[in-house]
Protein backbone atom coordinates (compact mmCIF):
# COMPACT_ATOMS: atom_id res chain seq x y z
CA UNK A 1 0.00 0.00 0.00
CA UNK A 2 1.35 3.41 -0.97
CA UNK A 3 0.05 6.74 0.29
CA UNK A 4 0.94 9.86 -1.65
CA UNK A 5 1.74 12.90 0.46
CA UNK A 6 2.13 16.33 -1.10
CA UNK A 7 5.40 18.11 -0.46
CA UNK A 8 3.50 21.33 0.09
CA UNK A 9 0.53 20.90 2.42
CA UNK A 10 -1.29 23.91 0.93
CA UNK A 11 -1.51 22.15 -2.45
CA UNK A 12 -3.64 19.37 -1.01
CA UNK A 13 -7.17 19.16 -2.37
CA UNK A 14 -9.82 16.70 -1.37
CA UNK A 15 -11.32 14.62 -4.19
CA UNK A 16 -15.06 14.07 -3.86
CA UNK A 17 -16.35 12.59 -7.14
CA UNK A 18 -14.31 11.08 -9.98
CA UNK A 19 -11.12 12.82 -8.86
CA UNK A 20 -12.80 16.25 -8.85
CA UNK A 21 -13.15 18.56 -5.91
CA UNK A 22 -16.64 19.55 -4.78
CA UNK A 23 -16.39 22.91 -6.56
CA UNK A 24 -15.25 21.30 -9.81
CA UNK A 25 -17.96 18.64 -9.60
CA UNK A 26 -20.76 21.17 -9.01
CA UNK A 27 -19.66 23.40 -11.89
CA UNK A 28 -19.21 20.35 -14.16
CA UNK A 29 -22.80 19.27 -13.46
CA UNK A 30 -24.04 22.83 -14.02
CA UNK A 31 -22.17 23.09 -17.31
CA UNK A 32 -23.67 19.78 -18.49
CA UNK A 33 -27.18 20.96 -17.58
CA UNK A 34 -26.64 24.30 -19.36
CA UNK A 35 -25.26 22.53 -22.44
CA UNK A 36 -28.29 20.22 -22.64
CA UNK A 37 -30.72 23.12 -22.19
CA UNK A 38 -28.93 25.19 -24.83
CA UNK A 39 -28.81 22.26 -27.23
CA UNK A 40 -32.53 21.56 -27.11
CA UNK A 41 -33.57 25.25 -27.24
CA UNK A 42 -31.25 25.99 -30.15
CA UNK A 43 -32.15 22.74 -31.96
CA UNK A 44 -35.68 24.05 -32.46
CA UNK A 45 -34.34 27.31 -33.95
CA UNK A 46 -31.77 25.90 -36.38
CA UNK A 47 -30.72 22.51 -37.68
CA UNK A 48 -27.04 23.41 -38.09
CA UNK A 49 -25.29 21.18 -35.53
CA UNK A 50 -21.94 22.99 -35.86
CA UNK A 51 -23.41 26.35 -34.85
CA UNK A 52 -25.33 24.74 -32.00
CA UNK A 53 -22.19 23.02 -30.67
CA UNK A 54 -20.18 26.26 -30.75
CA UNK A 55 -22.96 28.12 -28.96
CA UNK A 56 -23.11 25.37 -26.32
CA UNK A 57 -19.35 25.64 -25.79
CA UNK A 58 -19.60 29.42 -25.43
CA UNK A 59 -22.56 29.00 -23.06
CA UNK A 60 -20.76 26.65 -20.68
CA UNK A 61 -17.42 28.48 -20.77
CA UNK A 62 -18.16 30.69 -17.69
CA UNK A 63 -19.11 27.63 -15.61
CA UNK A 64 -16.00 25.74 -16.66
CA UNK A 65 -13.82 28.73 -15.80
CA UNK A 66 -15.50 29.14 -12.41
CA UNK A 67 -14.95 25.48 -11.61
CA UNK A 68 -11.47 24.76 -12.94
CA UNK A 69 -9.53 28.03 -13.37
CA UNK A 70 -6.84 28.83 -10.80
CA UNK A 71 -4.23 31.57 -10.95
CA UNK A 72 -1.71 31.96 -8.12
CA UNK A 73 -3.98 29.98 -5.84
CA UNK A 74 -7.02 32.18 -6.59
CA UNK A 75 -10.18 30.73 -8.08
CA UNK A 76 -11.79 32.52 -11.02
CA UNK A 77 -14.30 34.48 -8.95
CA UNK A 78 -11.67 35.66 -6.42
CA UNK A 79 -9.27 36.49 -9.26
CA UNK A 80 -11.96 38.50 -11.08
CA UNK A 81 -12.81 40.47 -7.90
CA UNK A 82 -9.12 41.16 -7.21
CA UNK A 83 -8.61 42.26 -10.82
CA UNK A 84 -11.58 44.66 -10.67
CA UNK A 85 -10.29 46.15 -7.41
CA UNK A 86 -6.74 46.62 -8.66
CA UNK A 87 -7.51 47.87 -12.17
CA UNK A 88 -10.84 49.70 -11.90
CA UNK A 89 -11.75 50.60 -8.33
CA UNK A 90 -8.34 51.47 -6.92
CA UNK A 91 -6.17 52.45 -9.88
CA UNK A 92 -2.95 54.10 -8.85
CA UNK A 93 -0.02 55.50 -10.68
CA UNK A 94 3.21 54.56 -8.97
CA UNK A 95 5.99 57.11 -9.28
CA UNK A 96 9.57 56.49 -8.36
CA UNK A 97 10.99 59.40 -6.42
CA UNK A 98 14.46 58.69 -5.11
CA UNK A 99 15.15 59.98 -1.62
CA UNK A 100 18.73 60.58 -0.58
CA UNK A 101 18.68 60.68 3.22
CA UNK A 102 22.28 61.76 3.50
CA UNK A 103 21.74 64.74 1.20
CA UNK A 104 18.64 65.75 3.17
CA UNK A 105 20.57 65.55 6.44
CA UNK A 106 23.42 67.57 4.95
CA UNK A 107 21.02 70.30 3.79
CA UNK A 108 19.43 70.48 7.24
CA UNK A 109 22.87 70.72 8.79
CA UNK A 110 23.80 73.53 6.37
CA UNK A 111 20.64 75.44 7.32
CA UNK A 112 21.47 75.15 11.00
CA UNK A 113 25.06 76.29 10.39
CA UNK A 114 23.87 79.29 8.31
CA UNK A 115 21.32 80.21 10.95
CA UNK A 116 23.89 80.00 13.75
CA UNK A 117 26.36 82.11 11.69
CA UNK A 118 23.61 84.61 10.95
CA UNK A 119 22.67 84.76 14.64
CA UNK A 120 26.34 85.28 15.59
CA UNK A 121 26.69 88.06 13.01
CA UNK A 122 23.60 89.80 14.37
CA UNK A 123 24.91 89.51 17.94
CA UNK A 124 28.31 90.84 16.87
CA UNK A 125 26.69 93.82 15.12
CA UNK A 126 24.59 94.58 18.24
CA UNK A 127 27.69 94.41 20.44
CA UNK A 128 29.61 96.70 18.10
CA UNK A 129 26.70 99.13 18.00
CA UNK A 130 26.50 99.27 21.80
CA UNK A 131 30.25 99.63 22.28
CA UNK A 132 30.56 102.42 19.75
Looking at residue 130, its pLDDT comes to 62
Strands (E), the chain: 70-71, 74-75
HSE-CB for 54 with a 13 A CA cutoff: 4
More confident position, 10 or 82:
82
Q: Is residue 13's pLDDT more than 90?
A: no
Strands (E), 2-65: none
Q: Note if the pTM is more than 0.85.
A: no
Encode pLDDT of 56-107 as tens digits.
Answer: 999 999 999 888 888 888 888 899 999 898 888 886 777 788 888 999 999 9
CA separation for the pair 15, 22 (Å, rounded): 7
Is residue 72 within 8 A of residue 20, CB to CB? The reply is: no
CA separation for the pair 20, 13 (Å, rounded): 9
Q: Is residue 34's pLDDT more than 70?
A: yes
Phi (first) and psi of residue 71, to 5 degrees: -135, 120
Is residue 34 within 8 A of residue 59, CB to CB? The reply is: yes
Encode pLDDT of 104-126 as tens digits.
Answer: 999 999 999 999 988 888 888 87
With pLDDT > 70 as the criterion, what percentage of the chain qualifies? Answer: 86
Amino acid sequence: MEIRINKEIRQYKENIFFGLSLRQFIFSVLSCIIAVILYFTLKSMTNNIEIISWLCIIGILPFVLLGFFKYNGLTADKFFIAWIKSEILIPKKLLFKPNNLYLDMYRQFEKKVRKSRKDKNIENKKRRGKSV
